[in-house]
Amino acid sequence: MQPVRLLVIGTGGMANNHAEAFAAIPGVTLVGGVDTRVENLSAFRARHGIERGFTSVDEALSWGEFDAVTNVTPDAAHYATTMPVIAAGKHVLCEKPLATNAAKATEMAEAAARAGVVNMVNLTYRNVPALQKGAAMVRDGAIGTVRHFEASYLQSWLTQPAWGHWDREAQWLWRLSTAHGSKGVLGDVGIHILDFATFVAGMGAREVSCLLATFDKAPGGRIGEYVLDANDSATMQVVLDNGALGTVAATRFASGHLNDLRLRIYGEKGGLEVSFENAVSRLRASVGEDMLTATWREVECPAVPTVYQRFIAAIRGEGVPEPDFARGALLQRLLDQAEASAAAGGLKQEVGA
């Protein structure tokens, strides 16, 4: 088994998930952490038994005793912290979104391709068994030509404290502030549901129209250093490459839904309902003769490897690095056009290649 030495860049809340998941994979060693916040870095290293700490990517690269990186920095830092790693020939898993605009995401994808390194973006819901099985069914023609879909990503952390108090904790407040690098719900979870829908459909999008809303959440629209101006809800109409039409919604105000994704997708031969709700993966289908009586049946979905396992497998030459940076760049183009549409009052935008 090929050993893999892993460097963790960024030591915020999500980095703990990465560290625990990678540490559980045989042959993987967490050899270093990077963060400009010395106290956070020290606590993270102590928690995960990581020997070395660095306050910059350049410092870590000067040391260089690692094979791969998992980048868990805030959105706005992905480009600046990933490009030097690629240039050094290190494999990299980057949190989503890949960058804050399509130009930078494309540059990252092209650089990774030239360098020949394993590159993946952490679209975590690719780990959902129902998603993978649903995509396989569409790919195999189970529902025929896709014609219509409805997709939603529903969170409620702005209406309840199940995950923490958004109005007093930095890990939530930064997600509400564009000055702190947030692209709002559109960039944070909109990317997940767009990937969810288009991955199952097996094609990209050619047109999008979008509306965004930012709601009043505090006096004067700010809490301390955080100006709460990032979007809280997004609705989109999306045209797929084959002309199929669908709707996509994402919000942080879906009271009663902690973290739920749902896709209903319909073709000429049947339909699928793909969901991940209350952390439960579920796939239902109405295909073939069942379509004639509107009968829906549960579909068994085998477990799938996590993105962390797939990343290490790809480094070892044992799997395909998917989703890769090219996929991340494609999704970023869709997000950019959704943002442009919202700025133009919801006018249709062509996504392009």
User: Which pLDDT score is estimated for 312?
Assistant: 98
Peptide bond into 323 cis (omega under 30): yes
Of the three residues 96, 124, 152, the one that is the final residue of a domain is 124
User: Which pLDDT score is estimated for 171?
Assistant: 85
Indicate whether 114 and 135 sit together in one domain: no
Evaluate whether 268 touches 144 at the Cβ level (below 8 Å).
Answer: yes
Is 107 within the bounds of a domain?
yes
Indicate whether 144 and 281 sit together in one domain: yes
pLDDT tens digits in sequence order for the chain, 353 residues long: 899 999 999 998 899 999 999 999 999 999 999 999 999 999 999 999 999 999 999 999 999 999 999 999 988 899 999 999 999 999 999 999 899 899 999 999 999 999 999 999 999 999 999 999 999 999 999 999 999 999 999 999 999 999 999 999 988 999 999 998 888 999 889 999 999 999 999 999 999 999 999 999 999 999 999 999 999 999 999 999 999 999 999 999 999 999 999 999 999 999 999 999 999 999 999 999 999 999 999 999 999 999 999 999 999 999 999 999 999 999 999 999 999 999 999 898 999 65
Rounded Cα distance, 327 and 203, in Å: 11
Structural domains of the chain, count: 2
Q: What is the pTM of this model?
A: 0.92
DSSP 208-255: EEEEEE----SGGGEETTEE--S--EEEEEEEETTS-EEEEEEES--T
Q: Residues near 253 by Cβ (< 8 Å), separated by ≥ 6?
A: 156, 158, 159, 215, 232, 233
Of the three residues 92, 124, 156, the one that is the final residue of a domain is 124
Rounded Cα distance, 19 and 293, in Å: 49
User: Which pLDDT score is estimated for 276?
Assistant: 97
Domain range enclosing 30: 4-124
Is 47 within the bounds of a domain?
yes
Indicate whether 139 and 240 sit together in one domain: yes
Indicate whether 93 and 138 sit together in one domain: no
* CATH (domain of 33): 3.40.50.720
Indicate whether 138 and 266 sit together in one domain: yes
Indicate whether 112 and 194 sit together in one domain: no
